[in-house]
Structure 1
Amino acid sequence: MKEPHIDYAEVFRALPGMVALLTPDLVYADANDDFLRLAGRTREQLLGRYIFDVFPENPNEPAAAGMRETEASMLRTVATGERDTMALLRYDIEDPERPGHWQEHYWSPVNAPVLGPDGKVALIVHRVEEVTELIRARGGPGGGDDRARVLEAELYTRARELQEVNERLRTAHAHEREVALALQAAMLPSPCPTGPHNAAVRYRPAIGALHVCGDWYDLVALPGEGLAVAVGDVVGHGLAAACAMGQLRSALSGATRVAHGPAQALEALDLYARSVEGAEATTVVTTFIDWDSHTITYSCAGHPPPALVHPDGTVTFLDGATDPPLAARPTHVSRPQARIPFVDDAALVLYTDGLIERRTEGIDTGLARLAHSLARHRKHDPETLADALLADLLPPSGNTDDTALIVLRL
């Protein structure tokens, strides 16, 4: 059977219900026929124009918030790459035939992202249900119904109350974010002296109010002028994750100083994690660097593998000693460790999953992107290399998971 040719442009225009496409700058790229008809605008009046130039707020309604709430929803979609469903709102439209006259409208909007090949939001699908007549529930042409009007008022009031609750929650979450970030900054150490081997550390919080503070890094001087470098990621976000993170980072730092190797340090941390609320399933990797033997000994508890970039540009991922996350097994067992040699002027990179993982792709794609960036920027000093990695790998609009990064020149 021959497959039919589908003209998706015509399908879009014929879609039932109001649907428009906007750029991340909130400029109209297209609109279907129902959108044009129900909004009372021509295609020429929409395309290429900023949404709120076409549909400004009703100046006669001091409490009107439709424009602000629609803009906030669309920008959240652009920032997070996720669908945003809005509460029922009133958003009046100026009559195109009678400037200065505003028509009362009630809408139920949804904003959804369309991702481009680079994983970034390329378009916003703005779908709107026109529910004005349902809200009005008039009894007949030119007539009115007191109960319908009461229902209309109640529905609109409840919608406004829900929106106010959402605003208060966002404000509370923003305050929690500030507190959590301050706690994170107090607990994350500055890089310790690493002798002639320069190191750079970076921490980038997620854009969401609660998506912050599960990640940590640490550098610990070892006996005999060795160095231990570790990163970890607590499951969860906010203040609870920040508190668990601080306890685990401190425990690993202490265990590292007395352990005979990274596996033993993680075994001690695994035992400790079983008594820390919120520590279960934390991922962590730690590396012990021996400058005399030019070797890295490492052990990994469910964490993305460190990357060793050689002077010739090849990249080796340290994935030879990977085990489940902390406290994930019902009983405690020994953990593996592996060793790999390095040459002078190589670079070791440890990071958390926010640097490489994306919802729309497998982890191998993120690791390949990291390897390509490392090979391209490998000759830079650690500070410049760290900034280049963040620029190459994190979305310009911000990531939905926080990211910790350590770059060490060997």
Structure 2
Amino acid sequence: MPRSINDDERLRRLEAVTDATLSRLDVSDLLDELLDRVRDLLDVDTAAILLLDVHAQQLVATAAKGLEEEVRKGFRIAVGRGFAGRIAAGREPVRITEVTEDDVVNPILLEKGIRSLLGVPIIAERELIGVLHIGTLSRRVFGDDDVALLELVADRAAVAGRIRSAKLDQQAALALQRSLLPTRLPEVRGIELDARYVPGHAAGVGGDWYDVFTLPSGWVGVVIGDVSGHGLASAVVMGRIRSALRAYALICNDPAEALTLLDRKVRHFEAGSLTTALYVMVSPDRSGVLISSAGHLRPVLAEPGRPAALAEVAVDPPLGVGRYGRPRRSTALALPPGAVLFCYTDGLVERRDQVIDIGLDHLVASVRAAPADVVCATVMADAGVEQPSDDVAVLALRRKQ
């Protein structure tokens, strides 16, 4: 028979799993503490949490008490199979009073001698996060109160699961972006280069990027771009676009032609991703540049003895916005000795409370024909972007004297 509990015991159980101190634990400690408490409160021998691997559609043993081997071996089970798989597929609690080989797939449960099982789905915002189950070595009929308490614990576990997933996404995004943003720009004959990247969101990662590469022809490619959005999804798209542009740069002698091919790629393979990009090709003798802009803000050109100004560059539509009726354009500019070409993303100059022209005017006033590292440092200090509301990437290119 299911065991009944009185009001005082019910209150004690409720307080044990809603204790505010749980919120101060990190994810792994929180899951462990929840399992310890549920084993004590329900007087069971085992407790385990399996989180859903969305891509594999498998449940992965993540935390366990009494079934630690399940976690050590990285046990996985497909949604729909076995005890935990049934719970995940049906999204309903499952009680088994007498466990048989037909009920479970995990051999560890049978080897452990589990007689009775109770499991509930872990759900957050209608999405399946995983499964929480408990077991006893003696026969047990789990009652409605047991189910209710386990569902309450599952709610706490859902929060931890979401936090864990978010942290994994953030770590993956950071690793991806760090691998794509060069930690050190290449040494290029006749050119000074310097760059900065400041994330504008707590995730610490977004779709802004810059790139510099030398082509077999002797030309040098300089790219800066911005994929809409933030986090892992934007970083992944950014990585694909960056790699594609490098490939097109090898077969195109005109930046507009490379961006035309890139636009076709974005529209077909990255539908829904809005991307701006500025592709600069520096001539082998460093005396001039070819520039094509796909919806990107014009760079600042500062020549010795002359005030800085936004470069007279044709700006075509961003990548991925639909068919463009006319060919993309490239603009040729002279790059005298000592001249600086300063490229940036919109997070540097856009502010919610002012028109963009104010930010652009302020930027132009900050750029001068000076060493590339001095220009970057000066612009970043003047812009006050220690905590920007959007990602900021800048890259300064200076022709050596």
Q: Same fold (TM over 0.5)?
A: yes
Deviation at 1:389, TM superposition (A): 1.6
Deviation at 1:165, TM superposition (A): 7.8
Deviation at 1:342, TM superposition (A): 2.3
Q: Which runs of 5+ in 2 are unaligned?
A: 1-18, 23-151
SS in 1 for 2:269: coil
Q: TM-score, normalised by structure 1?
A: 0.56
Q: Given the superposition, is the C-alpha separation of residues 169 and 300 from structure 1 closer, same or farther in structure 2, using an over 3 Å criterion?
A: same
Deviation at 1:360, TM superposition (A): 1.1
Is structure 2 residue 376 aligned with structure 1 residue 383?
A: no
Is structure 2 residue 199 aligned with structure 1 residue 205?
A: yes
Deviation at 1:278, TM superposition (A): 5.4
Is structure 2 residue 187 aligned with structure 1 residue 193?
A: yes
- State the partner residue of 2:383: 393
Distance in 1 of aligned mates of 2:212 and 2:272 = 21
Preserved contact between residue 267 and residue 322 of structure 2 (Cα < 8 Å): no
String of CA shifts for 1:142-161, please: whole Å, max 9, x gaps: xxxxxxxxxxxxxxxx9xx9
- State the partner residue of 1:235: 228
- State the partner residue of 1:402: 391
Deviation at 1:269, TM superposition (A): 0.7
Preserved contact between residue 220 and residue 256 of structure 1 (Cα < 8 Å): no
SS in 2 for 1:274: helix
Distance in 1 of aligned mates of 2:325 and 2:242 = 20
String of CA shifts for 1:275-318, please: whole Å, max 9, x gaps: 22356320001111125372221110111111111112511312
Counterpart mapping for 1:108-127 below 5 A: none
- State the partner residue of 2:258: 265
SS in 2 for 1:361: coil
Q: Given the superposition, is the C-alpha separation of residues 202 and 395 from structure 1 closer, same or farther in structure 2, using an over 3 Å criterion?
A: closer
Distance in 1 of aligned mates of 2:313 and 2:375 = 25
Kindly name which structure, 1 or 2, has the bigger radius of gyration based on alpha carbons: 2
Deviation at 1:170, TM superposition (A): 6.1
Match of 2:291 among 281, 295, 298: 298
Q: Given the superposition, is the C-alpha separation of residues 176 and 314 from structure 1 closer, same or farther in structure 2, using an over 3 Å criterion?
A: same
SS in 1 for 2:229: coil
Distance in 2 of aligned mates of 1:64 and 1:179 = 29
SS in 1 for 2:268: coil
Superposed CA RMSD in Å reads 3.2
Deviation at 1:327, TM superposition (A): 1.9
Deviation at 1:273, TM superposition (A): 0.9
Q: Given the superposition, is the C-alpha separation of residues 185 and 332 from structure 1 closer, same or farther in structure 2, using an over 3 Å criterion?
A: farther
SS in 1 for 2:239: helix
Is structure 2 residue 313 aligned with structure 1 residue 320?
A: yes
Q: TM-score, normalised by structure 2?
A: 0.57
Deviation at 1:174, TM superposition (A): 4.6
Counterpart mapping for 1:106-255 below 5 A: 172-189=165-182, 190-209=184-203, 212-255=205-248
Identity of aligned residues (%): 33
Q: Letter of the 1:401 partner, please give it.
A: D
Number of corresponding residues: 256
Q: Letter of the 1:227 partner, please give it.
A: V
Q: Letter of the 1:402 partner, please give it.
A: D
Deviation at 1:257, TM superposition (A): 2.1
Distance in 2 of aligned mates of 1:229 and 1:282 = 16
Is structure 2 residue 337 aligned with structure 1 residue 348?
A: no
Deviation at 1:355, TM superposition (A): 1.3
Q: Which runs of 5+ in 1 are unaligned?
A: 1-61, 66-157
Distance in 1 of aligned mates of 2:383 and 2:177 = 23
Distance in 2 of aligned mates of 1:240 and 1:328 = 18
